[in-house]
Structure 1
Amino acid sequence: MSTPEAVTLPERLRGMIREVAKFGAVGGLGVLVNLGVFNLIRSTTDLQVGRANVIAISVAIICNYIGFRYFTYRDRDKSGRKREMTLFLVFSLIGMVIETGILYTATYGFGWDSPLQSNVFKLFGIGVATLFRFWSYRTWVFRALPETSGGGVTVAGGTSEVVAEEPAPRVPAA
Structure 2
Amino acid sequence: MRQGWRLLLKELSAFGVVGVACFFLDVGLFQLLYAHMGTGAVTAKLLSTLVSMTVAYVGHRYWSFSHRARTGVRREYVMFAVINGVTLVLGLGIVALVRYPLGQDGALVLQAANLGSIVLGTLIRYFAYRRWVFPAHGSALARERDPVLADDAI
Corresponding position: 1:137 with 2:126:
no
| Structure 1, gaps ≥5 residues long | 1-7, 148-153, 165-174
2:94 equivalent in structure 1? 102
RMSD (CA atoms): 3.6
**What does residue 148 of structure 2 align with?**
159
Given residue 69 of structure 2, which amino acid in structure 1 is its aligned partner?
Answer: D
Whether the 8 Å CA contact 2:10–2:64 is kept in 1: the answer is: no
**1:111 alignment partner in structure 2:** 105
Higher strand share: 1
CA change 1:60–1:119 in 2 (3 A) is: farther
| Structure with greater helix percent | 2
Mean CA deviation greater in 13-22 or 29-38: 29-38
- Unaligned stretches of 5+ residues in structure 2: none
Q: Which has the larger radius of gyration?
A: 1
| C-alpha separation in 2, matches of 1:54 and 1:110 | 27
Change (3 A) 1:97 1:55: farther
Q: Distance in 2 between matches of 1:103 and 1:86?
A: 26
Identity %: 26
1:90-126: CA deviations, max 9, x gaps? 111111112233344456653346xx87766544432
Q: Assess if the C-alpha contact under 8 Å between 1:103 and 1:118 holds in 2.
A: yes
Q: 1 CA distance for matches of 2:44 and 2:96?
A: 11
Per-residue Cα deviation, 1:33-66 (whole angstroms, up to 9, x for no partner): 2333455577677747xx8766543332122111
TM-score, normalisation: structure 1: 0.63
TM-score normalized by the length of structure 2: 0.69
Question: Secondary structure, in 3 states, of the residue corresponding to 1:162?
Answer: helix
Looking at structure 2, the residues matched to 40 and 145 of structure 1 have their Cα atoms a distance apart, in angstroms, of 41
Note the alpha carbon deviations across 1:75-96, whole angstroms, 9 max, x for none: 3222433221221111111111
